[in-house]
Amino acid sequence: MLKRLGAQWSRHALSAKPAVVYPVAVCACLLIGWLLALGAAYLQDRADLQQRAVTIAHQLELQFAQANTALARIDAIAPGSNCELTSRLLAAVVQATPHARYALRTAPDGRVCTSDISRIDNPPAVAAGSTLILRSSQAGSPAFVLQHQGNGGSMLELGAVSLAALLQPGSTGVVAGVRMGSQYLAADGTVHAVDDAVGQGLSYQAATQDGLLEVVVRESWAEVVQHSVLRRLDTLLLAALAGVALGWALLRRQLARNSSSWEIAQGIRNREFFTHYQPIVTAEHGECIGVEVLARWRHPVQGAIRSDLFIPAAEDAGLIVPLTRYLIRRVSKEFKQVALPPGFLVGINIAAEHLGMPDLVEDCKILLAVLREKKAVLVLEVSERFPLPEHQVTHRVVQDLRQMGVKLALDDFGIGHADRNYLRRWGFDYLKVEKGYVSALGKDSFKANILDGLLQTSHQLGVQVIVKGVETQGQQNYLSVKGFQFLQGFYFGKPMTLNHFRQWLYSGITQDRVPSVAAMATGRSEATDR
């Protein structure tokens, strides 16, 4: 899926104007880089907040553990008949307990003794069984009140403001607080209703073990975003560099493509393309039974350009159809002057997309008219590399061509994924075996076995096999003995101009082809006259 999207994007990017490609690529990479930085900052901040919340909760647990120990000590003080001694004991407990500021002991008869004789609070109104409350404001500042009931009662007050010191944020933009029930103690020591106090943002909570308190650490979204930019400047820089590099690469490709497609179009107009012909022979006697037409380009400045470069470029630029059309017209003219043996095959390479165009039928008519006069047969070669589109139009085009006597060859057979169904569905007349199978003979027994098995399959399917890439007499002998009927390759003849081909054809038409062709293959390769 990702791969397909990537390919689509790249195709789209390449079809855009060069001026657009560059900034789009840079922006896309920056955006991706920033999203990565944001994601990394989010995860980092989340881990930091979690760590901070857990640490604060742990510290609170320690503080309250000390406070509870102090409360147990207060419980153990038996209030005497006068409070003076009790008050002194209570004051000692308060002094020894961090954050404690006040203690109170109630005798069973209701008498109240306090750690601070200048202040006598009423025992705080807590629900029975409740041991801790957060008092929002009494005697000027908020406090946590720990309380025991039974044998009178005991109470210890801890200053919430000093406890809130634990909540001071470690980094800017981080807010911490303690939630207790519906109340919330902020880092500045103020107490609010939870709903008013807790805002939006990335937050993490950690509860104390007794579950009474929950530490909330929060960072606003604005801060998270700011962190992603500030902390991840390195990532952003890398993303920007990647964007520049990608943009540059796309721009270069786009410019190269634009220039090559312009040149191909210009080349078709200026008739810079021409044709070479490569013989197809019988395996046994090397008798020529056909040719394959191969496109050649002589560029006005760069000279001869390899077809494995300009054919894919023409396919990419959407110019393969006009190029093929031009070649078909050219072949039609050229063949008017040549006498051919009856049943002679003329193979033309056709791009898969061209077979899906009804115009192809019209394009072929001109050539067919010429070939019919000579009782020759037109064979359209489609590569196995690109499967034929399973459209009704393509099937109709193939059917129309068949009715006109055109044959179909599956080229480069053995490199793609064509199975029996595919061969039957499209009704191929010839299979042209990919060159690699012949060059593998004697080196790769796996490929050699496949080649052997192919004959049997072809008989079952009623198709004829043409083996390409035959370069030596040994290969020819081997293939002939195995029972292959038709061969093509440098051993018999390299692609040549029509004049050379005509000489070659007429000089050997009645005699055993092999020796004379072998001489020709070494003596005259890829003749260059037009």
Q: Which residues in this chain contact ligand C2E in the complex, by CB under 6 A?
A: 278, 294-295, 307-308, 311, 320, 324, 327, 349-351, 383, 411-412, 435, 468-471, 489-490, 495
Is the Cβ of residue 102 or residue 273 nearer to Ca ion in the bound state? 273
Nearest distance from residue 351's CB to ligand C2E, in Å? 5
Nearest distance from residue 454's CB to ligand C2E, in Å? 17
Residue 419 interacts, among Ca ion, ligand C2E, none and using kind-specific CB cut-offs from 5 to 8 Å, with none
Is the Cβ of residue 156 or residue 295 nearer to Ca ion in the bound state? 295
Is the Cβ of residue 136 or residue 485 nearer to ligand C2E in the bound state? 485
d(CA 166, CA 55): 10
Nearest of 439, 490, 431 to residue 466 by alpha carbon: 431
Is the Cβ of residue 351 or residue 517 nearer to ligand C2E in the bound state? 351
Nearest distance from residue 356's CB to ligand C2E, in Å? 14
| Helix, strand, coil fractions of the chain, as percent rounded to 5 | 50, 20, 30
Residue 278 interacts, among ligand C2E, Ca ion, none and using kind-specific CB cut-offs from 5 to 8 Å, with ligand C2E
Reported as type and span, the H/E element at residue 517 is helix 513-523
Residue 109 interacts, among Ca ion, ligand C2E, none and using kind-specific CB cut-offs from 5 to 8 Å, with none
Residues that bind Ca ion (CB under 5 A): 349, 381, 411
Nearest distance from residue 46's CB to ligand C2E, in Å? 56
The CA-CA-CA angle for residues 480, 486, 488, to 5°, reads: 105
Is the Cβ of residue 37 or residue 305 nearer to ligand C2E in the bound state? 305
Complete DSSP assignment for 174-197? EEEEEEETTEEEETTS-EEEHHHH
Is the Cβ of residue 146 or residue 410 nearer to ligand C2E in the bound state? 410
d(CA 134, CA 208): 15
Q: Is 120 exposed, middle or buried (0-12, 13-18, 19+ CB in 10 A)?
A: exposed
Residue 394 interacts, among Ca ion, ligand C2E, none and using kind-specific CB cut-offs from 5 to 8 Å, with none
b/e code 292-306 from CB counts within 10 Å (16+ = b): bbbbbbeeeeeeebe
Residue 87 interacts, among Ca ion, ligand C2E, none and using kind-specific CB cut-offs from 5 to 8 Å, with none
- Check: CB of residue 156 under 8 Å from CB of residue 74: yes
Instruction: Please state whether beta strands 153-159 and 100-106 pair in parallel, antiparallel, or not at all (unpaired).
Output: antiparallel
Q: Is 153 exposed, middle or buried (0-12, 13-18, 19+ CB in 10 A)?
A: buried
- Check: CB of residue 334 under 8 Å from CB of residue 275: yes
* Sheet arrangement for strand 141-149: 112-114, 100-106, 153-159, 141-149, 132-138
Residue 490 interacts, among ligand C2E, Ca ion, none and using kind-specific CB cut-offs from 5 to 8 Å, with ligand C2E
Nearest distance from residue 488's CB to ligand C2E, in Å? 6
Residue 305 interacts, among ligand C2E, Ca ion, none and using kind-specific CB cut-offs from 5 to 8 Å, with none
- Check: CB of residue 34 under 8 Å from CB of residue 238: no
Is the Cβ of residue 228 or residue 383 nearer to ligand C2E in the bound state? 383
Nearest distance from residue 380's CB to Ca ion, in Å? 10
Which amino acid belongs to residue 460?
Q
d(CA 121, CA 101): 13
Is the Cβ of residue 340 or residue 433 nearer to ligand C2E in the bound state? 433
Is the Cβ of residue 430 or residue 484 nearer to Ca ion in the bound state? 430
Residue 311 interacts, among ligand C2E, Ca ion, none and using kind-specific CB cut-offs from 5 to 8 Å, with ligand C2E
- Check: CB of residue 250 under 8 Å from CB of residue 25: yes
Nearest distance from residue 275's CB to Ca ion, in Å? 13
d(CA 339, CA 505): 10
Residue 493 interacts, among Ca ion, ligand C2E, none and using kind-specific CB cut-offs from 5 to 8 Å, with none
Q: Which two tokens stand for residue 237?
A: 């820089």
Nearest distance from residue 409's CB to Ca ion, in Å? 8
Residue 307 interacts, among ligand C2E, Ca ion, none and using kind-specific CB cut-offs from 5 to 8 Å, with ligand C2E
Is the Cβ of residue 3 or residue 443 nearer to ligand C2E in the bound state? 443
Nearest distance from residue 348's CB to Ca ion, in Å? 9
341 SS3 class? coil
- Check: CB of residue 37 under 8 Å from CB of residue 31: no
Residue 214 interacts, among Ca ion, ligand C2E, none and using kind-specific CB cut-offs from 5 to 8 Å, with none
Reported as type and span, the H/E element at residue 113 is strand 112-114
Going 321 to 322 to 323 to 326, the CA torsion angle's sign is positive
Is the Cβ of residue 407 or residue 468 nearer to ligand C2E in the bound state? 468
Nearest distance from residue 433's CB to ligand C2E, in Å? 10
Nearest distance from residue 389's CB to ligand C2E, in Å? 16
